[in-house]
Amino acid sequence: MKDMIPNRKEKGFTLIELVMVIVILGILAAFALPRFADLGGEAERASIEGARGSVKSAMGIVRSTALAEGKGDVTTPATPAGDGSDVVTLEGATVNLINGYLAGDSLSDAAQLGDFSVVGGSSPYIVTTTAATDNPCFTFTDSSGTGTPPTVSAVLTMDDASTCGGTAAGT
């Protein structure tokens, strides 16, 4: 005689199995969350590193163009003013030269820094995402003489709205 109780296949999870899965997910989240909690600061620093690389590339491109056009030793301002001897044109943008190198007042156009803040009306210039305390930044200092290229600092931190790593804009 066959069994009188029919075989029943139960479908689904038991309450204990569901609780265990939730506990395991909670433990994994507790370990993973701190690793991803502060990615904003790292992203902002990476953005500034990219801008710094863009500035260094622009410096090379402007210098190469100035040399190719015979403006490698030209100083600014041009005499007579506006004669075009102290500028180069890159992708339709006029870029000023100082001693045959990229001038800080053309930094934003030459390096295409439209999404960044360039602080300062004269050298050194501060480049940052936002001119606020504790934001990453770097400085660009114009050429100081013939044969002396401009300098770009390492990535630093804004001390206040106009000072990057102890260097004030335009001083």
Using an 8 Å Cβ cutoff, are 137 and 153 in contact?
no
**How far apart, in whole angstroms, are the C-alpha atoms of residue 138 and residue 12?**
59
Residue 109 lies in a domain: yes
Tens digit of each residue's pLDDT (9 = 90 or more) over 11-28: 778 889 899 999 999 888
pLDDT at 21: 93
Residue 10 lies in a domain: no
pLDDT at 126: 92
**How far apart, in whole angstroms, are the C-alpha atoms of residue 143 and residue 103?**
8
**How far apart, in whole angstroms, are the C-alpha atoms of residue 82 and residue 143?**
20
pTM value is: 0.73
User: Which residues of the chain, if any, have pLDDT below 50?
Assistant: 81
3-class secondary structure, 137: strand
pLDDT at 132: 80
Structure tokens at 107: 């930094």
Cis peptide before 124 (omega within 30 of 0): yes
pLDDT at 41: 67
Residue 24 lies in a domain: no
pLDDT at 152: 95
pLDDT at 5: 61
Report how many domains make up the chain. 1
Structural domain of residue 93, as residue ranges? Answer: 44-168
End-to-end Cα, the chain, rounded Å: 102
pLDDT at 30: 82
